[in-house]
Structure formats: structure tokens, C-alpha cells
Amino acid sequence: GGGCVMLCAAAVIAMASCCVPYFCERRISVFAGYMQSVAVVICSVGLIIYPVGLESDVIKNYCGQSATSFNPGNCEIGWGYVLGIMGTALTMFGPFLSKYAIDKPRLEDSEEFV
């Protein structure tokens, strides 16, 4: 939950960077990248810790006594967990992209289109 909130906040901050001068835009982009990095760590920790909860008494009552950490017993994990892993893996690229998002175009490239 906390990682998703931080990712949403980083997205809002990144969109707000369109309304500020260039020298502030770079700082905001880097700050949003750092927020994304922290959010990826939080989401990754949550995804790693989630299967440990399968050993609780509530889960054992629902999924059977064979449920242990990383073994759901008679239950299925489902696609939500797999998609969470895939989404977190794709989000890892965000901080790297934010570093290069604000580069000014070179003069040679801009004269080509004139």
C-alpha cells in the first residue's frame, strides 16, 4: 500500500514539473526518481514478506494445516501476486528513465526539422 501511494505521489510531482522553469524541472524529476526508488523497495519488501503470512493460524484454518510459508496448502495465490511482482519489476526502470527525461535536445537535432 505505501509503495503504491509513493508511486502515485511521484507521478503527480512529475506531471507538475511541466509547469515550472527548466532549472527546477530537473530537480523535480530527480526527486520523483528517488521517490520511485523508495517505492520500489517498499513494494519489493511487501511482496517478499507476503508469503510468510501464509503460516498464520487464520490461513491454516482456511487453507488447511499443510499451509506454511511459501506453500499455500489447499489455496491458490492467484494472478494478483504475480502481477504485483511484474509491476514492481517494470517500475524498477522508472528511476533510471527519470534521470534522462529532462535532457535538452542538441542543436544539430533541432535544425533537422526546420
Q: Which pLDDT tens digit goes with each residue over 47-56?
A: 988 888 888 8
For 44, counting Cβ atoms within 10 Å of its Cβ (0-12 exposed, 13-18 middle, 19+ buried), the class is: middle
- Characterize 2-23 residue by residue with b for buried, 16 or more Cβ atoms within 10 angstroms of its Cβ, and e for exposed: ebeebbeebeeebeebeeeeee
**Measured in whole angstroms, how far is the alpha carbon of residue 48 from the centre of its chain?**
14
pLDDT at 4: 86
The dihedrals phi and psi of 80, each to the nearest 5 degrees, come to -60, -40
The stretches in the chain having pLDDT less than 50 are: 106-107
What's the pLDDT score for residue 22?
65
pTM: 0.71
Q: What is the pLDDT of residue 70?
A: 80
Q: What is the pLDDT of residue 83?
A: 92
> Which residues, listed in sequence order, are joined to residue 71 by a DSSP beta bridge?
68
